[in-house]
Amino acid sequence: MEIRWRSSPLVSAIHVAYCIAGGRQLTCQLSEDFRQSCVELNQLPTAFHTQAWQFWSEMLTCAGEGLSRGEFAKLLLRRCGVLEQSRPGLLPLVSGLIANLELSFAGQFPKFSEEIRLRSQLLEQLWMSYGPGLMHSIGRQTESELIVESAQVFVLQPIVGGAGYATLRSNRAYLEGILANVQPVLPEYLRLAHLVAQLDFERPVFSELIHGYRLPLIAGLSTLPATLRAAEELGLCAVDEKLLTEAVRLWVLSEHQESPITDAQVLAMTLNTWWETYQASRPAWRVALTALERMIFSAKN
C-alpha cells in the first residue's frame, strides 16, 4: 500500500471549525478572531440547506484539492447541491469566510508548517514499522479487496488531544499529529490503520445496501474488531472487552454523533456479538454490513 503524507493549513483550520461545531473540548485557548471565524463557518450548512455531516465532509474534501479560494467555493457549492446562479451571494460569502479562516489560523499557529512536519515524520516512521502488517491482517480477516492500494493521509494540527476520521469518497484519512498516545494500548498508528481500512467502503459492492448517512458509522464499527485483532497478532495488545469498549469510545463515538447507541460498553457488546457471528459464518462482507446496520439501528441504549 502506498501512503501519501500531506498537511495543509486550510484542512487543519477546517478541522478546528468542525470540532467546535461538534462541541468538542479543545486543548488550547483560541484567539477570539479564530473562534469567530469557525463559528461563522458553521452557519453555512443552514445557508446551504444541507445536512451538517455532508457539509463538513465536503469541506474537508474540497480543502485538500489545493484550489484557489474562489474555485474552492465553487466546488463546495456544487458538491453540496447549491446552484450558484440561483443564489449569487453565496459564492463571495464562502470565499470571504475561507479567507478569514485561513488568516486567523495562521495567526493562531504561526509555526504550523515546521511543527506539523515533525509530527508527521514521527507518524510516518511508526507506520513504516507497523502499517503494512496491520493492513495485511485486516484484509485477511475481512476481505482483501477492502484494502485500498493507495491513500492520502492528512496530518492535522492537534486541537482536541487526538482525533481522526476518513472521507470515504476522497480516499483520504485525517489524523491529529499528537506526540503522545491518548491510550498507550491504542497507539495513533493503530488508529490510522483503522481509518485507512474504511476508505474503500463507498464501492457499491460493499455499500449499496447501506444508507449514505449511516455508512461512515458502519465503516468505522465494522473495521474496529479486525483492526484490534491485527494488532494482537503483531503482539501490540491483548484484545478484551475493556479494550474494545475503549476503542469504541475514543475512535467511534467521539467521531460519529449519529450513532443511536451512545453507551460505549453497550455498543462494544453489540459489535462483539456481530463480529463473532461474522467470524463463525464468514458471509460476504456486504451481507455482514447490512446485518450490523440492522443491529445498531434497531437497538436501544
DSSP assignments along 267-279, one per residue: HHHHHHHHHHHHH
Q: Is the pLDDT of residue 50 over 70?
A: yes
pLDDT band at 8 (very low <50, low <70, confident <90, very high): very high
What local confidence, expressed as pLDDT, does residue 83 receive? 87
- Candidates 217, 270, 222, 276; CA nearest to 245 is 270
Other residues' Cβ atoms within 10 Å of the Cβ of residue 272: 17
Q: What is the pLDDT of residue 213?
A: 87
Longest pairwise C-alpha distance within the chain: 58
167 is written with which cell numbers? 472521507
Give the per-residue pLDDT at 212.
85
Q: What is the mean pLDDT of residues 222-231?
A: 98
Residue 116 has pLDDT above 80, yes or no: yes
pLDDT category of residue 6 using cuts at 50, 70 and 90: very high
Range 209-226 average pLDDT: 94
CA nearest 205: which of 146, 147, 135, 149?
146
What is the Cα–Cα distance from 234 to 11, expressed in whole angstroms? 33
* Average pLDDT of every residue of the chain: 95
**For a pLDDT cut of 70, what percent of the chain falls above it?**
99
User: pLDDT tens digits, residue range 140-162?
Assistant: 999 999 999 999 999 999 999 99
User: Residue 10 in contact with residue 157, Cβ under 8 Å?
Assistant: no
Rounded mean pLDDT, 41-65: 93
Reply yes or no on whether the pLDDT at 301 is more than 80: no
- Residue 290 near residue 240, CB atoms below 8 Å: no
5-9, 55-59, 64-68, 87-91: least confidently modelled range: 87-91
Look at residue 85 in the predicted model and tell me its pLDDT. 80
Confidence of residue 228 (pLDDT cuts 50, 70, 90): very high
Using CA atoms, how far apart are residues 174 and 163, in angstroms rounded to an integer? 8
Residue 299: other Cβ atoms inside 10 A = 13
The set of residues, in sequence order, having a beta carbon less than 8 Å from that of 83 and lying 6+ positions away, is 77
Per residue in 247-287, pLDDT tens? Answer: 999 999 999 888 999 999 999 999 999 999 999 999 999 99
Rounded Cα distance between 133 and 172, Å, is: 20
Answer yes or no: are the C-beta atoms of 293 and 259 closer than 8 Å: no
The answer for 269, left when phi > 0, alpha when psi is -120 to 50, beta otherwise, is alpha
Continuous segment of H or E residues that includes residue 123? helix 112-141
- CA atoms within 13 Å, Cβ hemisphere of 67: 17
| C-alpha span between 225 and 248 (Å, rounded) | 10
Euclidean distance between CA atoms 96 and 282, whole angstroms: 51
Q: Pick the residue with more confidence: 301 or 192?
A: 192
- Structural contact between residues 189 and 127, judged by C-beta atoms closer than 8 angstroms: yes
pTM of the predicted structure, to 2 decimals: 0.95
